Chains A and B, each alone.
Chain A
């Protein structure tokens, strides 16, 4: 579905919900569920909290639906609400995680040199059937600094575009690009050396070598 047909579907759905067809809210929110949950999980670091705040977010979206002006995509608006709710929960929990949100700036230096490989064989997505690969990826993303993790989550995992990602996180598009670049570089550095183990084994019928 293209963005414009999404937007039309959303606008029509919202109009009908506000006119009394309340049950349509189930269909309106369904495409956003995943993004809401994972954005909150990235913020809160706990599945139970993330699910709880996801529910609060969705109720809030419903109660404030009349305020949606269609200036941004519906999903962007929803995720901004999710982020606010998540930050609110962090404050309530008195968590230190919130401090870490501001701790990282784009000026910070770091080592973004990639892992040097002399050859790379593609890891087919079928390898994801092996649960260790999924664990490896989740672990590497979980260990990214917060400001990079959010960007990877929205841009690469939920496949939002740069503008939408910037809007949800309330940062510039330039900052999205810088953070994305660094995040991917860090992931490549951590993951690439391990991922090679998941490429399909060449058959070695005649001993070593191809």
Chain B
């Protein structure tokens, strides 16, 4: 990466990889350095990370009522 100067645009490009821990140590350090002083990128990172956490919550996507029961009844018929 050499002596890379990182700006907001750069940070946005790596936000998803940063959240997933998919950036190397050097890039992470550059991003952290930028985040420490950039309120906008910090808010973008936090909001993105928060959205990732929210969509993973089982309450957002719930199976239709009775889905599992109907599925296992069907399985039971085939297993007979």
Contacts and interface: CB of A to CB of B under 8 A. Distances in A.
B63 A33 contact: yes
B8 to A, nearest CB: 9
B20, B46, B48, B76 pick with most chain A CB within 10 angstroms: B48
Nearest to B68: A33
A166 interface: no
A115 B16 CA distance: 15
Interface of B: 12-13, 15-17, 19-20, 22, 39-40, 42-44, 46-48, 50-57, 59-61, 63-64, 67-68, 70-72, 74-76, 78-79
Given A122-B50, A185-B15, A185-B16, A26 B63 contact: no
A64 B70 CA distance: 21
A157 interface: yes
16 contacts: A25-B79, A33-B67, A33-B68, A51-B70, A62-B79, A63-B78, A117-B47, A128-B54, A181-B13, A181-B15, A184-B19, A185-B12, A192-B44, A192-B47, A192-B48, A195-B47
B75 A62 contact: yes
- 6 closest Cβ pairs, A-B complex: A181-B16, A120-B43, A117-B43, A192-B47, A120-B46, A114-B44
B63 A37 contact: yes
Contacts of A114: 12, 15, 44, 47-48
A58 B74 contact: yes
B60 A115 contact: no
Given A37-B63, A122-B50, A177-B22, A113 B75 contact: no
A44 to B, nearest CB: 13
Interface in A173-199: 177, 180-181, 184-185, 187-188, 191-192, 195
